[in-house]
């Protein structure tokens, strides 16, 4: 009786079409693989072949793209190399052209007799002329024993124009007062062949205020603005110094000796001669 009750409590599962039971009695759904034949089978086979062809073509394209990337990298590197070489060639060509032009200019200057521009002319230069024993010089000037007093020679730059300054107290201004006049003289120098002629540098005379260093007496000249009548003063000297050029009545003797103005200090005056590019 007990076994019968167990059979009722655990009945066997009912198996439907398309199902089967496992060893433990569970129902398992069966999956059937469709079978193709005839035209369908041929179509599927052709599709598989085409897919294989597509895969092979994609593989070839991928390899080609990899090769193309390598080529692009190589071309980019070559372009950089070419640009660097072209830059180097341009720089070398410019340097060669400059050297050729300089040689042509030298030949031209040699054939025409013109002087070459100086290579080391400074943008500006300053010469300081300290005039000492001024009271004695004044006595000689006013007494007629001397007409001018001069500075030592100096150069504009290390290899520039050779010049010197001159001054006198003989001139009088419109009020009849004796005045200080200053001039510059261009004289023959060892570097004249390398300099540009005529002289064209802006030139400034400065009588220095030695007391406050603020109220200097300044006079400036630009050779190009003085006209053709004065051009002979700036040409290359042939035998001796050129005619002096500068400023008459630059500063009255009265103002020069006024101790409050500071131009005269310890019986000396200081005159700066400054040149610069125009």
Q: Residues near 93 by Cβ (< 8 Å), separated by ≥ 6?
A: none
What is residue 221's predicted lDDT score, i.e. its pLDDT? 96
What is residue 277's predicted lDDT score, i.e. its pLDDT? 85
What is residue 10's predicted lDDT score, i.e. its pLDDT? 54
Owner of token pair 């500063």: 251
Name the residue with higher pLDDT: 4 or 73: 73
261 has a pLDDT exceeding 90: yes
Claim: this prediction has a pTM higher than 0.95: no
36 has a pLDDT exceeding 80: no
What is residue 7's predicted lDDT score, i.e. its pLDDT? 45
Mean pLDDT across 225-230: 92
Confidence of residue 187 (pLDDT cuts 50, 70, 90): very high
Backbone angles phi, psi at 49, to 5 degrees: -65, -40
Q: pLDDT digits over 7-30, tens only?
A: 455 555 565 555 555 556 665 555
Provide the 10 A C-beta neighbour count for residue 28: 10
């Amino acid at each position: 009786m007990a076994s019968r009750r167990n059979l009722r409590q655990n009945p066997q599962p009912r198996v439907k079409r398309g199902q089967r039971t496992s060893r433990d009695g569970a129902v398992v759904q069966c999956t059937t693989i469709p079978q193709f034949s005839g035209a369908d089978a041929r179509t599927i086979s052709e599709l598989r072949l085409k897919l294989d062809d597509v895969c092979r073509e994609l593989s070839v394209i991928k390899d080609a793209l990899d090769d193309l990337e390598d080529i692009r990298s190589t071309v980019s590197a070559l372009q950089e190399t070419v640009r660097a070489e072209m830059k180097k060639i341009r720089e070398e060509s410019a340097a060669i052209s400059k050297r050729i032009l300089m040689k042509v200019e030298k030949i031209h200057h040699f054939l025409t007799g013109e002087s070459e521009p100086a290579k080391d002319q400074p943008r500006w230069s300053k010469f300081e002329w300290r005039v000492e024993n001024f009271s004695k010089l004044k006595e000689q000037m006013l007494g007629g024993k001397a007409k001018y007093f001069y500075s030592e020679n100096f150069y504009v730059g290390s290899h520039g124009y050779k010049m010197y300054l001159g001054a006198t107290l003989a001139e009088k201004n419109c009020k009849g007062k004796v005045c200080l006049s200053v001039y510059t003289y261009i004289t023959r120098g060892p570097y004249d062949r390398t300099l540009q002629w005529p002289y064209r540098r802006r030139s400034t005379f400065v009588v220095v205020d030695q007391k406050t260093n603020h109220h200097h007496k300044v006079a400036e000249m630009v050779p190009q603005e003085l006209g053709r009548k004065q051009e002979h003063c700036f040409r290359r000297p042939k035998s001796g110094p050129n005619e002096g050029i500068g400023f008459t009545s630059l500063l009255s003797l009265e103002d020069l000796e006024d101790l409050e103005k500071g131009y005269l200090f310890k019986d000396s005056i200081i005159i700066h001669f400054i040149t610069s590019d125009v």
